[in-house]
Structure 1
């Protein structure tokens, strides 16, 4: 196998790992129930939206279980528009989950294939390419973080217009319990946390790759 093909396979392998890992971090944070609890308590949200804390918690569990496919949405709490929007969100979640799993499968398959074809020479190629691809991702995420910090509203509007083909996401607090549960402040905090976690993860990968490269060069 020539060098160009090897480099291409390693780029695909690395991108598959990074995209899947970003999605895994997003899922972890979105389904981290303690984040919801801390936000609700900090903002005194139950009292502010005219409900009880247990009811707010129960309907949050219901929302997350719906996304996992384990429950139907509570029609006594969520409006028709809430439910229609969440149908779109669940489709997006299902597609993203499939991409994450597929990416990890591609990563494992290509790792095994390249190890079989190249033996330990694979590490030479990997360490040479991995940082370049990873740094490109870090720069993209860092730029996104700057955009979010400067104007979250613009980012959030663009995010929804790109991912959704309708306006069901334009919910009003006057008629939507969903938007009351997760207002803009919630998503600002959540997205910020995701960006920080992604940057930390990428930094760890780059450092680990540097250690591997140094160790490999010393012992091979």
Structure 2
């Protein structure tokens, strides 16, 4: 009976650690996505590198102002500039804002889950908390790193196919099919922009995960004999 109780406690602790790891990695990935997507400097650097403003017949100031307006709209701080964005642009961005909101609350959910599972692990493990966490951490993290690398391979092999399937999966309409002849939105953020953005996001995720892997190995050695 006593042995069964110990095994049950071990199973619960291990399950909590997996959920804790999972929630940490998901919230970190979403946090990195939000940081890059709302980083105005990233847009400015892309516009400067591609010399975009004169290529789409606008001034750099107007392009930056409308980009700021776009990001403010996604943050529910402003309405889109109707003199710049077309009706179809606005309808699509409404869907995108809904997606961002769902993603934001998903991130908050996983942050809360991380905190709750961490507290429960501490209660169950007491002074051996770090020993148990670090023992499982690498396995879960390596699984995420492999998934990210596989995704990066798929994207680099055929970005256009990935981008189409991504939109078909997340949107229930075809408003995302914008024409450069009509849409200022697609002129501002062409395919090359998203290739650069997604590449940056993946690199940031991998850098963070490698840093976590190194940190965990250091902590694992420190808490091995506790």
Backbone CA RMSD of aligned residues: 0.9
Q: What are the equivalent positions in structure 2 for 1:30-179 lying under 5 Å apart? A: 30-179=37-186
- Give distance in 1, aligned partners of 2:136 and 2:161: 34
Greater mean deviation of Cα atoms: 27-36 or 108-117: 108-117
Unaligned runs of 5+ in 2: 1-7
TM-score, normalization: structure 2? 0.95
Unaligned runs of 5+ in 1: none
- Give distance in 2, aligned partners of 1:81 and 1:95: 22
- Give distance in 2, aligned partners of 1:159 and 1:121: 43
TM-score, normalization: structure 1? 0.97
Q: Tell me how far 1:105 sits from its aligned partner.
A: 1.0
Partner SS for 2:224: helix
Partner SS for 1:217: coil
- Give distance in 1, aligned partners of 2:58 and 2:75: 25
Q: Tell me how far 1:102 sits from its aligned partner.
A: 1.2
1:6-26: CA deviations, max 9, x gaps? Answer: 111111111011000000000
- Give distance in 2, aligned partners of 1:205 and 1:85: 37
Match of 2:200 in 1: 193
Partner SS for 1:135: helix
Match of 1:23 in 2: 30
Q: Tell me how far 1:143 sits from its aligned partner.
A: 0.6
Question: Aligned residues, how many?
Answer: 219
Match of 1:203 in 2: 210
Contact residue 13 and residue 124 of structure 2 kept, 8 A: no
Q: Tell me how far 1:155 sits from its aligned partner.
A: 1.1
1:131-176: CA deviations, max 9, x gaps? Answer: 1111110000001111111111111111111111111000000110
1:197-217: CA deviations, max 9, x gaps? Answer: 001111111111111000111
- Give distance in 1, aligned partners of 2:26 and 2:224: 28
1:13 matched to 2:28? no
1:183 matched to 2:190? yes
